[in-house]
A and B are shown apart, each in its own frame.
Chain A
Amino acid sequence: MTLDKDTIAKLAARLEAAERNREPLTKITDEYPALDYEDAYAIQDTIRASKLAAGVRVTGLKAGLTSQAKMRQMNVTEPVFGFLTDQGAYPDGGEVPFDKFIAPRIEAEIALVTHTELRGPGCHLAQVLAATDFVLPAVEILDSRYRDFKFDLVSVVADNTSAAGFVAGGRPRRVNELDLPTLGLVVEKNGQVVETAAAAAVLGHPATSVAMLANNLARRGQVIPAGTFIMTGGITAAISIARGDAITVRIQELGSVSLRFA
């Protein structure tokens, strides 16, 4: 921890304002080069508390920078975690207002919903599978509050890992019926295949990112409550979006999920 309470509150407010006004910032480590992980998660937690106080509901948790492609793209080696809210929830097949974002990107993911609390430290893959009610396909909408997605690891953590919205849908399935790592995924933008991958691109197994999330939360004295919707992390590189783009994600055994930006 390198920052005092006031500075953390100030940076959280700045990031919230950037989101609200769609006016991107430069990464906060430019001004606070010593900012560490703990500071960054403290800023994210402050943003979360502020949203909750304003009546926003937290609808789930997310992992980010989990795929090899993503890690290469962002030049990082470990995942980051954030939260999802009802402000960014869109229906499967629905329309997403393009103007709500600064420069949106999307990622295709496998999401899961738990039926049992997960508590770190020491949480591992098998515990995650045992606690999983079902998995389903999802699309995450990313929108950095930093100009042109130019950030480092701690800056993106402070910015709630660029979380901006999500769509879940398709065909929910029990995990014991599936070989999760080999499930294939196809992303189509305006009817053209733009990405193909398999779920193993997320840390070898998507449930691994949930175990890491539980262990990360434990360091902050938190758990993953039963009934939590968790986006396990992008399987492909993020895809840039223009107004009018239609996205369909098909996942083997899990059906499809789609959205369009109007």
Chain B
Amino acid sequence: MDAQEITRYGDALYAAMTGRTTIAPLTTTSPDISIDDAYLISRHFLERRLAAGERLVGKKIGVTSKAVMTMLNVHQPDFGYLTDRMMYATGAEVPASSTLIAPRAEGEIAFVLKRDLRGPGVTNADVIRATEFVMPCFEIVDSRITDWKIKIADTIADNASCGVVVMGDRAVRPTDVDLSTCGIVVTLNGEIISTGAGAAALGSPVNCVTWLANTLGARGIALEAGEVILSGSLVPLQPVKPGDNMHLALGGIGQCAVRFT
């Protein structure tokens, strides 16, 4: 893909997000799109947001579960960017009907960094050392691609299908919790809809952050002190609609709640 096409797609995705519309899958309109092209589009999509006054606050890791890998027929994760406009606090009302297109909720562990992580060569020990604390969070994914008809390049270009993030209010040091057995219980309107554990994301959420640090390192990008890193969903995606309320509890870490309007 040439630079012009990358810019055009990045602009189209930005316009789709702000206008709450969708575009056809990029893998349909440009079947030759590569993973690298997709990340360049994602980067341009981000540049548009930053130019509009948003601030980069972190990154997200996606496609970490076997189920999603099978669905997209890929065997490695992907990543996207988090901006301040995307962040909500636990108990918040997320105005899905006026800001999102086809939202789905995921339960995750967020890492908050106190030191930069610059791959390649980053290990799990480096990640633990660089992590100030972990927190519970919902990631509300959304797709600017029509009807979520995504292949891996589509979701990468579309900022890893990130919508908004709801952060819990409790933080735990990564040395105080076993992140691979850490349990998660998700309720929708008071009913338990899924449970899981940290190992659902590449065997451990720590593995996910290590993967991201090394993958971004290869692209010359660091994970920076103060950033929030979403380590990947531990449960299946749950479509949500206005009126829904959701809650999650992470064993030994804390809780997070969100309502959709």
Contacts and interface: CB of A to CB of B under 8 A. Distances in A.
A252 B195 contact: no
A13 interface: no
Contacts of B199: 184, 186, 193, 196, 250
A68 B192 contact: yes
A198 B252 contact: no
Given A197-B197, A200-B195, A252-B197, A185 B183 contact: yes
A198 B200 CA distance: 11
**Interface of chain B: mostly helix, strand, loop or mixed:** mixed
Contacts, number: 78
Interface string B220-254: 00000000000000100000000000000111100
A121 interface: no
Q: Of residues A181, A182, A196, A251, which shows the largest number of chain B Cβ atoms within 10 Å of its Cβ? A: A196
Contact of A184 (B192, B196, B203): B196
Contacts of A250: 180-181, 199
Contacts of B203: 193
A198 B180 contact: no
What is the size category of the interface that chain B forms with chain A?
20 to 34
A253 B253 CA distance: 13
Given A196-B196, A196-B234, A198-B197, A182 B181 contact: no
Contacts of A68: 192
A198 B178 contact: no
Interface string A164-189: 00000000000000010111111000
A201 interface: yes
Given A250-B181, A252-B181, A182 B249 contact: yes
Contacts of B234: 196
A23 to B, nearest CB: 37
A122 to B, nearest CB: 25
A252 to B, nearest CB: 4
Interface residues of A, number: 21
A93 interface: no
A72 B196 CA distance: 17
B141 interface: no
**Interface of chain A: mostly helix, strand, loop or mixed:** mixed
A120 interface: no
Contacts of B250: 182
A204 interface: yes
A252 B252 CA distance: 9
A11 B196 CA distance: 40
Interface in B193-215: 195-200, 203
A185 B185 contact: no
A193 B200 contact: yes
A199 interface: yes
Contact of B185 (A193, A198, A253): A198
B182 interface: yes
B205 to A, nearest CB: 11
A201 B182 CA distance: 14
Contacts of A252: 178, 181-183, 197, 251-252
Q: Which 10 A-B pairs have the closest CB atoms?
A: A184-B183, A184-B197, A198-B183, A182-B251, A198-B195, A196-B197, A252-B181, A186-B199, A200-B185, A196-B200
14 contacts: A179-B252, A181-B249, A186-B180, A186-B181, A193-B203, A196-B198, A196-B199, A196-B234, A197-B197, A199-B183, A204-B192, A252-B183, A252-B251, A253-B251
Given A196-B196, A252-B251, A253-B252, 9 more contacts: A182-B185, A184-B182, A193-B203, A196-B200, A198-B183, A200-B183, A251-B181, A253-B181, A253-B251
Interface of B: 178, 180-185, 192, 195-200, 203, 234, 249-252
Interface of A: 68, 179, 181-186, 193, 196-201, 204, 235, 250-253
